[in-house]
Amino acid sequence: MKVFWTVVALVGALAVQSALSLIVPGWARVFDPFLLVVVYCGLKGGETHGMLAGAAAGWAQDVAFGGRVLGLAGLSKVLVGFGVGRAGTRFQLTEPGARLLVIVLAVLLDALTLRQLAAAFDVTTGALTVPGLALRALVNAGMGLPLFALVERRRWRWSGA
Amino acid sequence: MARGLATNKSRLLLAGLVLGHLVAISKQVDVGDGATLFERSLFAVFSPLQGLISGGVDGVGGTWSSYVSLRGVREENKQLRDRLAVTELLLQQRTHLAHEAQRLRELLQLRGVLPLETLVAEVIARDGVPWFRTVTLNKGSRHGLALNSPVISPNGVVGRVIRLGPEAAVVQLLLDQESGIGVRIERSRVTGVVAGQVDSAGQLTGDLQMKYVPMLADVVEGDLVIASGLDRIYPPGLVVGRVRQVKLGSGVSKEILVAPSARFDRLEEVLVVRTPLPDVTATETVQ
């Protein structure tokens, strides 16, 4: 069941990012629904779930929106999934404040890892400035927190019923 | 004990995933074009979904537009009836002009100004990440597209196909820092290479940068930049842009900014060139 919902979430993320890229391309480059799926999977499912979701999300993003070399986003999101999953099993990350911090750190880790990997494999990428990174972190945190709350409320209702 | 086993398992999984990714990435870097069967299969899986989403967005947009246009339709209808009488008189004259324009267009086509076989493709997705500048088209290998096929718009060169599926293709825009096109200044015939330009903070600016132009080369602001064909990808003569700024660089080359002719933010339909450039091989005979 966990795998099914992860796949559904990833297909949803692909749909959202594809639609955004057509309607508001500027915001599509800032908002990263794939990253939110990975963070949520890491928080709720631990390291393994986070890493596998990260690999799937990263490859989907690479194939649909990536450049010449595939796998850069895949690897960066595997590391994000591992990091968030590890943190999720060791710390109490259910409060909005803690989750905000996790999303911000995940955005930074994802961006920095991808940039370093791209440099290591001689792939030139567009850079993100500090304000750009801050905006990316804020937007994803601003969207992620209510989304996480919404998903958990639904899960709670279904499990209650 | 169980926790320790789980930790070891996840560490092994992490190592496996990292290693797998590194191998996959390295393999593509070696191949260059990255046109592996694996990549084609993956792209074939994702591209139909993007096509569906594009259709959905168009559908919702169309429904919304229809709703908006219904508002005040009665008043508009009355005005249209009044204007119809006038329009009918103009119609005969316009019909005559249209026929004339059609004849002229056919004459121009006969001259074969652009002797290239092209295919019209629709943009179904744009760049969704800040790292790369790409668009996805609704035509793929099944329609005759190939890797590196040049993509143009009525305004100028757009980019080239870097990833191909049966029903879709990803195009690397000229704005991408990894792109490159051999160009020539039309007036002075000075050659160079144009790629996406970044500012001092590393951000893509939306302009292009013309590189490898010697300091003494004759280039001035406003010069038309066209494809040279020396890269063996883009047919020569296609318009790339206009020189926006010329500065003396710190090294041996000039710093030249080029404003692209293609309107990348408004791309909806593009032309994909299907005519392959003639293969030129240098041969040398020793007698």
CATH number for position A48? 1.10.1760.20
Q: Does a structural domain hold residue B103?
A: no
For chain B, the domain total comes to: 1
For chain A, the domain total comes to: 1
Average pLDDT in the B255-273 region? 86
Q: Does a structural domain hold residue B238?
A: yes
The contacts of residue A138 (CB under 8 Å, 6+ apart) are A104
Q: Does a structural domain hold residue B261?
A: yes
CATH of the domain at B64: 2.40.10.340
Chain B residues touching residue A14 (CB < 8 angstroms): 46, 49-50
Q: Does a structural domain hold residue B118?
A: yes
What are the pLDDT digits (tens) for B92-113? 677 767 765 664 454 345 334 5
Contact between B150 and B106 under an 8 Å Cβ cutoff? The reply is: no
Residue A31 lies in domain: 2-160
Name which of B28, B52, B131 to mutate to probe chain A: the one with the most chain A Cβ atoms within 10 A of its Cβ: B131
The nearest CA of chain B is from the CA of A153 a distance in Å of 28
DSSP state, B68?
A: H
Name which of A11, A22, A36, A38 to mutate to probe chain B: the one with the most chain B Cβ atoms within 10 A of its Cβ: A22
The nearest CA of chain B is from the CA of A99 a distance in Å of 22
Chain B residues touching residue A32 (CB < 8 angstroms): 129
Q: Does a structural domain hold residue B90?
A: no
CA distance B278 to B115: 13
Burial of B106 per CB tally in 10 Å (0-12, 13-18, 19+): exposed
Residue B157 lies in domain: 33-71+114-275
Size of interface A-B (CB pairs under 8 A): 166
Give me the pLDDT at residue A77, please: 93
On average, the pLDDT of chain A sits at: 87
B33 — pLDDT class (breaks 50, 70, 90): low
Give me the pLDDT at residue B35, please: 58
b (16+ CB within 10 A) / e for B74-97: eeeeeeeeeeeeeeeeeeeeeeee
The pLDDT of residue A28 is above 90: no
- Touching B: A residues 31-70, CB under 8 Å: 32, 46-48, 51-52, 55, 59-61, 63-70
Q: Does a structural domain hold residue B66?
A: yes
What are the pLDDT digits (tens) for B150-185? 998 878 899 999 988 888 999 999 988 888 899 999
Q: Does A84 touch chain B (CB under 8 A)?
A: no
The pLDDT of residue B269 is above 50: yes
